[in-house]
Every structure is written in structure tokens, then in C-alpha cells.
Amino acid sequence: MRKVSASVIFVICCFLTFGPAVVHCETDKYKIGISSWVGFPSSVKGFKDSLAAEGLTEGENVTFLSGKSDGDKNKQHAIAEHFKKERVDLVYSLCTSGTFIIKKIGGVLKLDLFRYLPN
């Protein structure tokens, strides 16, 4: 059985929890930062395709800011700072190390996810 990254599970849970609320705000525009550490192009594609299937279309009501660190922690810090400066609504981070850096920089979406999960 394959191990699933905690960050991938976190993002999936966020969208299962908050996705319907986001979709019903059709006039809103969102900025989503995508931070990939190394690889995972199919995960990014699946993420974007799932948002599009729910009505969040790139260029219309969602803008994606991308950053690829290629495994370099300094680049990941710069990406996190850029997302903070751009005031993104959500960060999709594709590895545990990168997610810790995003969280450390702060200033981007912070959720108490466990408060919203059913018992």
C-alpha cells in the first residue's frame, strides 16, 4: 500500500469540507498557490481538474500561482513568501517538507481543520 502525504490528505479534506461553500460563491475570484516540491504533475492536474469540475475555472474565477522548488528549501521559502505577499486564498502543497515551510512562513490560509470534521 502506498503512503499518502499528509499535505495531500489535508488539501483533500479542506476541499471536502469547504468545497461546496466555495462553489456557491460564483461571483468570487480566488488565488490559489500551488507549491510542488519535486514531481507530482498528475496530482496538480487532478487538483485543477477537480476544481474545474465544480465550476472554478482558471482565468475566470480562479488564478493559480505556481512555484516549483525542485527540492531546494531556500526556493521553497521564497515561494512561500511570494504566496504570502500575493495574499493567496489557499495553498496546495505537495510534500510534507514543503508544507511545513508554508506553515512556518504563515500569512496564508490557516484553518483549524479538525474543528470542522464530523465525529
In a domain, 101, yes or no: yes
Model pLDDT, residue 111: 46
In a domain, 1, yes or no: no
Name the domain count of the chain: 1
Tell me the three state secondary structure of residue 68.
Answer: strand
What pTM was estimated for this model as a whole? 0.65
In a domain, 11, yes or no: yes
Single out the residue of 70, 110, 73 nearest to residue 88, CA to CA: 110
Q: What is the spatial distance between Cα 69 and Cα 78, in angstroms, rounded to a whole number?
A: 9
In a domain, 22, yes or no: yes
Single out the residue of 106, 102, 113, 110 nearest to residue 34, CA to CA: 102
Model pLDDT, residue 63: 94
Range(s) of the domain holding residue 32: 6-116
Residue located via cell numbers 469540507: 17
- Which CATH number fits the domain that encloses residue 53? 3.40.50
Per-10-residue mean pLDDT for the chain, 119 residues long?
A: 55 54 60 81 88 91 88 88 89 82 68 42
Residue count of the chain, please give it.
Answer: 119
Model pLDDT, residue 17: 52
In a domain, 25, yes or no: yes
Model pLDDT, residue 68: 79
> What single DSSP character describes residue 61?
T
Model pLDDT, residue 19: 52
* All cell numbers assigned to 30: 480566488
In a domain, 23, yes or no: yes
